[in-house]
A and B are shown apart, each in its own frame.
Chain A
Amino acid sequence: MKTDNQRAWFLVLPVLVLVAFSAVIPLMTVVNYSVQDTFGNNQFFWAGLEWFKTQLESERMWDALWRQLAFSGIILAIEVPLGVFVALNMPKKGVWASVVLVLMSLPLLIPWNVVGTIWQIFGRSDIGLLGYTLDSLGIDYNYTQGFYAAWVTVIAMDVWHWTSLVALLAYAGLQSIPDAYYQAARIDQASRWAVFRYIELPKMRGVLTIAILLRFMDSFKIYTEPFVLTGGGPGNSTTFLSIDLVKMALGQFDLGPAAAFSLMYFLVIMVISYVFYIVMTNLDKEDGK
């Protein structure tokens, strides 16, 4: 049991100060911009909720949002089943298990811009293995020109990059199942599917929820990998929310609209974080029992 102790505040004070400096001050700047307009010369005047209205009516933002949701939906639909499938086929112990763990984790530790570079090279039809192979098979594939080619490459890249995370989490869930469960299932002559459906899946429920939420959040703010690979193109076809926001804020310096955009973006993230938090604390409670 935890004890009540208000002096614990002193222990969290450094974190509070540091994170406040790097989160609250910048966020207030954003709030400040979102309600003001400027004609340059550092002269600002009150614009109220004007920018929020403009943004909510802007087709550009909605397009980016739909693209973002489509992207997150597609990668979840591929990565979660694939990750579970891989986890079910991973060895439980031994040297081979360590080797598999190390190799699988490797893509997770590669800098995000290098992930983009790797796929940029891999997919090029003149020098890349993937692009060259597809080209020799007679498939017209060019991720900088074709809409579908760009999407397929961006999705393949994300699946390559992050499926291992889902697999590792699912694997951690599988490891916690006592052997006795499987023995009981064998005595009952349960089918492979029944073992999965009634033993493994319920035991993985917690970790899978974490995996889905993490992948959703992280894919929702994806920037570097598609930026390096396609730069948001061809046209705007792979311009996701973050890419659009950076274009607006740092490229065109449209501070007001960008700030309003940021705040709405952040609000969505807050809501998902809250779901994540509730799931986490519930899991902690189950552990405590």
Chain B
Amino acid sequence: MSDQTATAPGAADHLPGDVTARDANAKAKSSSRLNGSTVVLVLYLLFLMLPIYWLLNMSLKTNSEILGGFSLWPQNLTLANYETILTDPTWYMGYVNSLIYVVMNTVISITVALPAAYAFSRYNFMGDKHLFFWLLTNRMAPPAVFALPFFQLYSSVGLFDTHIAVALAHSLFNVPLAVWILEGFMRGVPKEIDETAYIDGYSFGGFFVKIFMPLIASGIGVTAFFCFMFSWVELLLSRTLTSVDAKPIAATMTRTVGAAGVDWGVLAAAGVLTIVPGALVIFFVRNYIAKGFALGRV
């Protein structure tokens, strides 16, 4: 912590030297405020981390230890719960199923959203604003409204309990999300680049793939992350549209609970494993998280 106090001496440094008295005063003030800030932040982060730590703690205990007594850390550290999940197909296939439909959804969403976002960011066309708004309403739509009709729609076309059904259902909110985020990034690319490329003789396709997409590569990455995430965290639709073959990990977790008591250790381990994908890539998107959640508008 001494490190932070040293690296952030406040903006007092910018003042000219002749106001030294006030400067010193400001410095003292800002350092006391900095300590206050650190306390606030540490408390907040503690509040965020404690429940996660507790899940991790549970996942490393045996069930008899969990129910037998209360301890702040595992007394007999065990990986048995993780072993159960990683060796039992009914468990680990849940992760595989989730990953399959999530990746499908991400690919579909980005593929259709790229040209559309380009159109919205560059051209005026009949009904463009209405269309853009309509897309937004689908991002905001409550999945509960769509659960039953989706079930019937996909059953009637024979897609029930397939990965593609969930991927298509999730595109209800992910395609609008992708269009909005990508449009936010594309708006930042000056139009002169397009015009220069056309003068240089590029076709639309060539320009888009060779010049434009590399320019918004970080935007595409961020969009992919958010499509992945929102599909990964969703439970209601993925549970409604699957039964066995495409059953997601989230549903595996809820269904195991309640059958002859709760296996707390395995449940906690399964939970920890669902946090891993997000935690792995979070560092790369840390500066875009706000932008992604705000649909590309920050």
Contacts and interface: CB of A to CB of B under 8 A. Distances in A.
A168 B290 contact: yes
A22 B172 contact: yes
B286 A98 contact: yes
Nearest to A245: B144
Q: How many residues of B sit at the interface, in one of the four size bands?
A: 35 or more
A217 B173 CA distance: 13
Contacts of B115: 11-12, 14
Given A29-B152, A250-B148, A101 B287 contact: yes
Q: Which of B4, B51, B108, B282 has the most CB of A within 10 A?
A: B51
A19 B138 contact: yes
Given A86-B41, A119-B51, A228-B254, A18 B235 contact: no
A224 interface: yes
Given A25-B153, A85-B40, A223-B144, A104 B45 contact: yes
Given A121-B264, A246-B144, A280-B295, A110 B45 contact: no
A131 B136 CA distance: 40
A132 B70 contact: yes
B257 to A, nearest CB: 8
Q: Which of A19, A168, A183, A255 has the most CB of B within 10 A?
A: A19
B124 A2 contact: yes
B36 to A, nearest CB: 7
A276 B40 contact: no
B123 A169 contact: no
A159 to B, nearest CB: 9
A110 B275 contact: yes
Interface string B168-182: 110110011001000
8 contacts: A14-B116, A26-B150, A105-B286, A109-B233, A110-B52, A121-B264, A246-B236, A249-B148
Interface of A: 2-9, 11-12, 14-16, 18-19, 21-23, 25-27, 29-30, 85-86, 88-92, 94, 96, 98, 100-114, 117-119, 121-122, 126-130, 132, 160, 164-165, 168-169, 171-173, 179, 182-183, 186, 192, 207, 210-211, 214, 217, 220-221, 223-224, 228, 241-243, 245-246, 249-250, 255, 258, 262, 265-266, 269-270, 272-274, 276-277, 280, 283-284
Interface of B: 3-4, 7-8, 11-12, 14-15, 26, 33, 36-37, 40-41, 44-45, 47-52, 54-55, 58, 66-67, 70, 72, 108, 111-113, 115-116, 118-120, 122-126, 128, 131-133, 135-138, 140-153, 168-169, 171-172, 175-176, 179, 187, 229, 232-236, 240, 249-250, 253-254, 264, 267-268, 271, 274-275, 278-279, 282-283, 286-287, 289-291, 293-295, 297-298
